[in-house]
Amino acid sequence: MSVNMTTGGSSSKSAPIIREFVDVEGGDIRSRGQSDGIRFRLVSYNILAQAYVKSSLFPHSPSPSLRWKARSQAILTLLKNLGADFFCLQEVDEYDSFYKRNMADHGYSSIYVQRSGQKRDGCGIFYKNNCAELLGKETIEYNDLVDLLLDETSLSADKQNETLADGNNGAHAMNDSPVKSSPECRGDPNDPHVRLKRDCVGIMAAFRLKDPFHRVVILANTHLYWDPEWADVKLAQAKYLLSRLAQFKTLVTDKFECTPSLILSGDFNSTPGDKVYQYLISGNSSSASLMTCLEELPFPLCSVHAFTRGEPPFTNCTPDFTNTLDYIFFSPSDCLKPVSILELPELDSPDVVGGLPNYSHPSDHLPIGAEFEITKE
């Protein structure tokens, strides 16, 4: 394993570990020579919003590593040293006051969507100015799922979960009736209108790569709801996400007369093999009660890690929970293939033992990354 140590602050204790991209071996993934295409790197990272950093929530973490000054500089050092062409970041707070300005100093432009309600964090896509040109963007407000139910006159108990999972119906009307402004819902959790109002968001954008082919790539970045007991909500969000993404892909295809490549990344708060994961890769939630309302996926998706080396043992690491929640999905084609992935630590690696965040990792999540090769059609 190749690991670089950097000095992210005045003390060596605050230096984050920078792992490297390693080539994918075997199969036909590297069937094309490097001269036949161009490559770009994408990193997805839940950076842990400072608004959620409390000693009571992370008693295992060294107190100095939780302070904003140390964490912000460690995150910035990590991003700078990874040097990806695209960063898809989740739990971004302090966007205007810190990340936008500092990433601009390193040659990145950015787009951002803040969570609904009173939430302070959101999702952002940062991209190198010398790598890509922004063609267009759209935001995803999962609270719009609440509006999709407003026309329902009744909702029988035996069909509630089926209705929750149906994120596609009425997707075209999402901008026609804005979400009603109200305090965070504290009502009956069995009421779908309450369950679906989780203030989660996503953002998607089309980029034209600054290469001889001028290929168009669509990137989507999202953060789904966290509660493992509310799998139906996460599944509804996943369906709505792909519905919106399919519409956006059609719009880009028609407007720019192209066949865009598609990459979806984020914190899906879903482990390998669960309902959301199975839906994203196959359209099958493995849930009989939901099968009647699961349409086919609008496009095929593969997880980069599953496609190459298998899903990692974890991307989120705390004493109470250690598992994989973060993914980079791509729609496979002859034009787009992953050629390398960002190394991740093993479970017994000294820098993760005891849980995150710590001096080596400024978030409770790990950054995941992939290098893609894109070729002329």
CATH value at residue 102: 3.60.10.10
Q: What is the pLDDT of residues 338-360, one digit of tens each?
A: 999 999 999 999 999 999 999 99
Beta-ladder partners of 109: 127
pLDDT reported for residue 377? 72
Q: Are 239 and 145 in contact, with CB atoms under 8 Å apart?
A: no
Q: Are 112 and 97 in contact, with CB atoms under 8 Å apart?
A: no
pLDDT reported for residue 304? 98
Q: What is the pTM of this model?
A: 0.86
Based on the structure, what is the number of domains in the chain?
1
**What residues of the chain score a pLDDT lower than 70?**
1-14, 26-35, 150-186, 284-296
Q: What residue numbers bound the domain in which 125 lies?
A: 3-375
